[in-house]
């Protein structure tokens, strides 16, 4: 304390405190509480030096946490006494670039209400300006080259602010104080419309693009994390044309609607779903479609859910309002390629898909796809984590000494950097099966390493020797740790829920490398973060033709018949009866299974869904993984009594025998029972099998915590059924809440398992 009775403190604030208007907030607060000193961005967050009487200091500290700006996320406030320093006012100092980079920057944020009001106010100087933003909204990760998050290190560096913008930028009381992408029509990026040859077209670009959309044309537009392809979501022929050109024949497409009210017109929206739709992260939210909705059947063929989202950039707001129709808004790529991000790249790769191009000159530095999420049992359940979410870290239950880079899985890839108590899960990359995907992967990884100054000492990867990521692992020149796929799923869900110690893990998905030479995917593990025991699994069936079974589902059905029927004759006969068009294949498939040629055994739950869907007559040819399972869920009735199954506990691992299930199902197929009844009884049997197996494992081990992970748990019907029945039996169940249960969550599990083993 000095002569005036003042105390002196240095206050470090960590968390998301940059790019969210935190310093102006501190400045205002300092004024209100009579604090002298300064605030500055550091590479670790924000540092405040404060001088005040002790009661003012205390109320200032309380307000700092309680009144923080809406987009800030404070993780820690540390306050220490320091020697007196001369202070008679409060100042915002320029950023301090020293020290390690540990700053958390907010992910990109949807246009805020204040900016929206200005956007549509004819009297405002940014009226209809498609790049309006402020400290509470706008691009972040998609434009940052490096930290600290300051304008020269963003793709806005080339735009020199005009006098009016500069004034806002320098005024601590302004909403745009240090808003790095601040701009206006005079000084900022511009928008134009181009035809398929890249020639600029006359007229207001938004008005013309909206007219083209109403006329049924396809528009490519440059968004926040990459290009979108947009078209009228209500007309079958328009949506089909987009599918044809993009070569995306079946996967559901997302639809952007103007407002929450518009979303309600097409889908049922719960309060939790409303909140997600309107959140500044603006994910695509899977919603239950209303009967008779006006959306084209081509948007999500065979499914009862639609992925809707709201506009999240000023350009979206202008376009959607002008067009006045719901718009299919899908990533600007061909089939499974990475999303296009540069003007030239888009004009090249999307020529022949889009009729016109809505372009601008604010560069996208790093690609971010739209995030996809849903609500299960009243809470968010992420399916794809990208824009608005990544790379906001998952906070771990404990910190680790070693920095880990986890390379993720082959499909729906993400990577993950683990440092201290944070796991930075990168944005959704997609399937690692092309050079383009690999480039996207490496580009995203470079950006993240630079931003957070990461220097991993350990690389974690999947056990599969043939995954591209496994091959990459060796190239870092660092020690490598292989983590089994289904173990990684469970550890990921444990980290997601802050669990450690022993759990029962139900790890059900399509495919994962098993150390015993079979393909795993219907696994019950007793495990902790380091090790696992394969305690039980589903019956293994032959996959005649290997991966061909994933698309040609009748093959998988034959593999099941082979095990269920008494002999080859019976299997072939049943096969011919259920799949008359494929009857001729039976002999080849049988020969393949007998010789074992290209016929691995699989305990995959995903393949069990495929076989059931094919036998029930829901689908025999899949164009994407999980398609048949989604459609089977969509037709299934609830409250149907289950098909039988048998839990064989004679030897470890136990076996959940699904042959009785298929035998009963085949009988019903023969009797012409309805698909909804059969699909319902199938789901009920699997839910029952999980309950019984977990119940027995729990009695045996004394473990009462069950962790559910793997892509199969994207199935809401099954998941809710399992959770409710397990909890009724007194077991605690854990679902993913921050990363996806599908392979997008694998990297988190790999990172934690590897860090844990190295700490041993
Ligand atoms: Zn704003
Ligand atoms: Zn300006
Ligand atoms: Fe998986």
pLDDT in tens, 489-535: 999 999 999 999 999 999 999 999 999 999 999 999 999 999 999 99
Residue 174 CA: which ligand is closest? 1
Residues 149, 154: Cα–Cα separation, whole Å? 8
Residues 667, 378: Cα–Cα separation, whole Å? 37
What is each CA distance from 690 to 149, 516, 552, in whole angstroms? Answer: 48, 23, 27
Q: How many H helices and E strands in the chain?
A: 23, 30
- How far, in Å, from the CA of 175 to the mean position of ligand 1? 8
Residue 522 CA: which ligand is closest? 3
- How far, in Å, from the CA of 118 to the mean position of ligand 2? 14
Residue 740 CA: which ligand is closest? 3
Q: What is the mean pLDDT of the chain?
A: 94
What is each CA distance from 481 to 163, 394, 405, 745, 759, in whole angstroms? Answer: 55, 21, 10, 17, 13
Residue 189 CA: which ligand is closest? 2
Predicted pLDDT at 1: 63
The alpha carbon of 173 is separated from its chain's Cα centroid by a whole number of angstroms, namely 36
- How far, in Å, from the CA of 486 to the mean position of ligand 3? 7
Q: What are the pLDDT digits (tens) for 320-359?
A: 999 999 999 999 987 778 888 899 999 999 999 999 999 9
User: What is the rounded average pLDDT of the residues 380-405?
Assistant: 94
Backbone angles phi and psi of 268, in degrees to 5:
-85, 130
Q: How many CB atoms lie within 10 A of CB 349?
A: 21
Strands annotated E in 4-148 = 6-18, 36-42, 45-53, 73-81, 90-92, 104-105
- How far, in Å, from the CA of 591 to the mean position of ligand 1? 65
Which residues are registered as beta bridge partners of 137?
Answer: 134
Residue 114 CA: which ligand is closest? 1
DSSP states of 192-223 as a string? EEEETTS-B-SS-HHHHHHHHHHTT--EEEE-
Categorize the per-residue pLDDT at 371 as very low, low, confident or very high, splitting at 50, 70 and 90.
very high
User: What is the rounded average pLDDT of the residues 28-36?
Assistant: 94
- How far, in Å, from the CA of 223 to the mean position of ligand 3? 30
Cis check for the bond before 439: say yes or no (omega within 30 of 0). no
Predicted pLDDT at 344: 92
Residue 113 CA: which ligand is closest? 1
- How far, in Å, from the CA of 160 to the mean position of ligand 2? 8
User: What is the rounded average pLDDT of the residues 570-589?
Assistant: 96
Residue 462 CA: which ligand is closest? 3
CATH number of 520-525+535-734: 3.30.420.40
Q: Where in the chain are all domains bearing CATH 3.90.870.40?
A: 191-372
The whole model's pTM is what? 0.93
- How far, in Å, from the CA of 489 to the mean position of ligand 3? 7
- How far, in Å, from the CA of 94 to the mean position of ligand 1? 22
Q: Where in the chain are all domains bearing CATH 3.30.420.360?
A: 390-500+742-758
- How far, in Å, from the CA of 509 to the mean position of ligand 3? 5
Listed residue (757, 759, 739) closest to 460, CA to CA: 757
Residue 160 CA: which ligand is closest? 2
Q: Is the pLDDT of residue 363 over 70?
A: yes
Q: Is the pLDDT of residue 104 over 80?
A: no
Q: Is the pLDDT of residue 99 over 50?
A: no
Predicted pLDDT at 17: 85
Nearest 5 degrees, angle CA 495-CA 496-CA 499?
50
Q: Is the pLDDT of residue 100 over 70?
A: no
Residues 407, 445: Cα–Cα separation, whole Å? 10
Query: Per residue in 287-310, is it b (16+ CB within 10 Å) or e — as a string?
Result: bebeeeeebbebbbbbbbbbbbbb
Backbone angles phi and psi of 578, in degrees to 5:
-80, -35
Q: pLDDT > 70: what percent of the chain?
A: 98
Local structure of 71: helix, strand or coil = coil
Listed residue (308, 372, 299, 333) closest to 229, CA to CA: 333
- How far, in Å, from the CA of 81 to the mean position of ligand 2? 42
Q: What are the pLDDT digits (tens) for 240-265?
A: 999 999 999 899 999 999 999 999 99
Residue 511 CA: which ligand is closest? 3
Structure-block tokens of residue 337: 């390629």
- How far, in Å, from the CA of 92 to the mean position of ligand 3? 48
Local structure of 455: helix, strand or coil = coil
- How far, in Å, from the CA of 163 to the mean position of ligand 2? 7
Q: What are the pLDDT digits (tens) for 121-165?
A: 999 999 999 999 998 899 998 998 887 778 888 999 999 999 999
- How far, in Å, from the CA of 518 to the mean position of ligand 3? 15
Query: Per residue in 179-192, is it b (16+ CB within 10 Å) or e — as a string?
Result: bbbbbbbeebbebe
- How far, in Å, from the CA of 161 to the mean position of ligand 2? 5
Residue 156 CA: which ligand is closest? 2
Residue 165 CA: which ligand is closest? 2
- How far, in Å, from the CA of 517 to the mean position of ligand 3? 17
Q: Which helix (H) or strand (E) holds 22?
A: helix 22-33
Q: For residue 134, give every residue at least 6 positions away whose Cβ sits within 8 Å of its Cβ, in sequence order, or none.
A: 21, 112, 114, 115, 175, 176, 179, 182
- How far, in Å, from the CA of 184 to the mean position of ligand 2? 4
Q: What are the pLDDT digits (tens) for 177-226?
A: 889 999 999 999 999 999 989 999 999 999 999 999 999 999 999 999 99
- How far, in Å, from the CA of 392 to the mean position of ligand 3? 22
Name the architecture of domain 191-372.
Alpha-Beta Complex (3.90)
Which residues are registered as beta bridge partners of 18?
Answer: 105
- How far, in Å, from the CA of 44 to the mean position of ligand 3? 35
- How far, in Å, from the CA of 450 to the mean position of ligand 2? 30
Structure-block tokens of residue 99: 């020290």
Residues 218, 213: Cα–Cα separation, whole Å? 6
Q: Where in the chain are all domains bearing CATH 3.30.70.100?
A: 7-92
Q: By the 8 A CB rule, do 551 and 520 touch?
A: no
DSSP states of 122-178 as a string? TTSTTTT-TT--BTTBB-STTTBSSSS--GGGBTTTTS---HHHHHHHH-TTSTTTT
Residue 176 CA: which ligand is closest? 1
Q: How many CB atoms lie within 10 A of CB 548?
A: 12
- How far, in Å, from the CA of 710 to the mean position of ligand 3? 5
- How far, in Å, from the CA of 224 to the mean position of ligand 1? 15
Local structure of 308: helix, strand or coil = strand
Q: By the 8 A CB rule, do 404 and 476 touch?
A: no
Q: By the 8 A CB rule, do 535 and 555 touch?
A: no
Q: Where in the chain are all domains bearing CATH 3.30.420.40?
A: 520-525+535-734
Residue 69 CA: which ligand is closest? 1
Q: Does domain 390-500+742-758 have CATH number 3.30.420.40?
A: no
- How far, in Å, from the CA of 139 to the mean position of ligand 2? 17
Categorize the per-residue pLDDT at 693 as very low, low, confident or very high, splitting at 50, 70 and 90.
very high
Greatest Cα pair distance in the chain: 100
Q: For residue 196, give every residue at least 6 positions away whose Cβ sits within 8 Å of its Cβ, in sequence order, or none.
A: 347, 351, 352, 354, 355, 356, 357
User: What is the rounded average pLDDT of the residues 596-613?
Assistant: 97
SS3 of 527-554: the string is ECCCCEEEEEEECCEECCCCCHHHHEHH
Residue 711 CA: which ligand is closest? 3
Q: By the 8 A CB rule, do 313 and 360 touch?
A: no
Residues 52, 8: Cα–Cα separation, whole Å? 7
Q: For domain 7-92, which CATH number applies: 3.30.70.100, 3.30.70.2470, 3.10.20.600, 3.40.1350.10?
A: 3.30.70.100
Predicted pLDDT at 103: 64
Q: Which helix (H) or strand (E) holds 447?
A: helix 435-452
């Amino acid at each position: 304390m000095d002569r005036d009775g003042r105390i002196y403190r240095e206050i470090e604030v960590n968390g998301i405190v940059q790019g969210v208007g935190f310093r102006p907030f501190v400045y205002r607060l300092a004024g209100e509480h009579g604090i002298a000193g300064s605030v500055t961005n550091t590479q670790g967050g924000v540092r405040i030096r404060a001088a005040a009487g002790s009661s003012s200091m205390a109320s200032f500290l309380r307000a700092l946490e309680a009144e923080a700006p809406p987009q800030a996320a404070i993780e820690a406030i540390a306050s220490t006494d320091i020697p007196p320093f001369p202070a008679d006012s409060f100042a915002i100092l320029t950023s301090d670039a020293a020290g390690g980079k540990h700053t958390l920057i907010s992910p990109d944020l949807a246009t805020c209400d204040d900016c929206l009001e200005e956007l549509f106010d004819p009297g405002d100087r940014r009226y209809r300006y498609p790049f309006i933003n402020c400290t509470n909204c706008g691009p972040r990760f998609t434009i940052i080259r490096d930290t600290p998050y300051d304008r020269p290190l963003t793709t806005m560096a080339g735009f020199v602010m005009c006098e009016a913008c500069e004034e806002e930028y320098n005024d601590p009381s302004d909403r745009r104080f240090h808003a790095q992408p601040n701009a206006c029509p005079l000084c900022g990026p511009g928008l134009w419309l181009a035809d398929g040859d890249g020639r600029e077209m006359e007229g207001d670009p938004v008005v013309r693009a909206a007219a083209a959309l109403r006329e049924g044309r396809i528009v490519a537009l440059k968004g926040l994390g990459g290009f979108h392809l947009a078209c009228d979501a209500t007309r079958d022929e328009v949506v089909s044309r987009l599918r044809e050109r993009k070569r995306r024949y079946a996967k559901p497409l997302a639809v952007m609607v103007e407002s929450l009210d518009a979303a309600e017109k097409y889908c049922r929206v719960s309060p939790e779903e409303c909140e997600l739709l309107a959140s500044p992260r603006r994910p695509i939210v899977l919603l239950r479609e209303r009967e008779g909705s006006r959306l084209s059947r081509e948007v999500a063929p065979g499914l009862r859910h639609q992925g809707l989202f709201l506009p999240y950039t000023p350009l979206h707001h202008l376009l959607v309002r002008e067009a006045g129709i719901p718009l299919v808004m899908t990533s600007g790529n061909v089939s499974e390629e990475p999303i296009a991000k540069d003007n030239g790249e888009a004009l090249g790769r999307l020529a022949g898909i889009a009729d016109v191009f809505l372009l601008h000159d604010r560069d996208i530095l790093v690609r971010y796809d739209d995030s996809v999420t849903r609500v299960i049992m009243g809470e968010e359940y992420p399916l794809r984590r990208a824009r608005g979410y990544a790379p906001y870290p998952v906070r771990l239950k404990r910190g680790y000494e070693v920095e880990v880079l986890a390379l993720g899985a082959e499909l729906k890839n993400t990577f993950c950097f683990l440092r201290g108590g944070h796991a930075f899960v990168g944005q959704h990359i997609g399937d690692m099966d092309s050079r383009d995907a690999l480039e996207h992967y490496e580009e995203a990884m470079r950006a993240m390493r630079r931003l957070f100054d990461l220097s991993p000492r350990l690389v974690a990867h999947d056990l599969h020797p043939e995954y591209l990521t496994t091959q990459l692992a060796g190239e870092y020149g660092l020690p490598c740790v292989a983590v089994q796929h289904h173990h990684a799923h469970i550890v990921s869900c444990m980290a997601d829920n802050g669990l450690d110690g022993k759990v029962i893990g139900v790890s059900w998905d399509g495919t994962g490398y098993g150390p015993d030479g079979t393909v795993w995917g219907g696994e019950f593990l007793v495990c902790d973060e380091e090790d696992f025991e394969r305690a039980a699994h589903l019956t293994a069936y032959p996959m005649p033709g290997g991966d061909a079974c994933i698309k040609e589902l009748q093959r998988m059905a034959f593999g099941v018949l082979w095990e269920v029927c008494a002999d080859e004759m019976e299997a072939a006969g049943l096969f011919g009866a259920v799949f008359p068009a494929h009857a001729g294949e039976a002999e080849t498939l049988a020969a393949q299974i007998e010789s074992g040629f290209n016929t691995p055994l699989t305990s995959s739950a995903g393949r069990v869904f495929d076989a059931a869907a094919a036998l029930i007559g829901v689908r025999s040819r899949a164009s994407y993984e999980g398609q048949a399972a989604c459609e089977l869920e969509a037709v299934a009735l609830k409250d149907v009594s289950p098909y039988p199954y048998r839990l064989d506990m004679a030897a470890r691992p136990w076996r959940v025998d699904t042959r009785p299930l298929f035998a009963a199902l085949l009988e019903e197929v023969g009797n012409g029972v309805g698909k909804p009844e059969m699909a319902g009884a199938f789901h009920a049997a699997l839910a029952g099998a999980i309950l019984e197996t977990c119940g027995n494992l729990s009695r045996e081990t004394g473990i009462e915590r069950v962790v559910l992970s793997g892509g199969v748990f994207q199935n809401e019907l099954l998941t809710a059924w399992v959770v409710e029945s397990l909890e009724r039996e007194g077991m605690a169940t854990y679902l993913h809440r921050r990363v996806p249960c599908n392979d997008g969550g694998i990297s988190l599990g790999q990172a934690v398992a590897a860090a844990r083993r190295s700490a041993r």
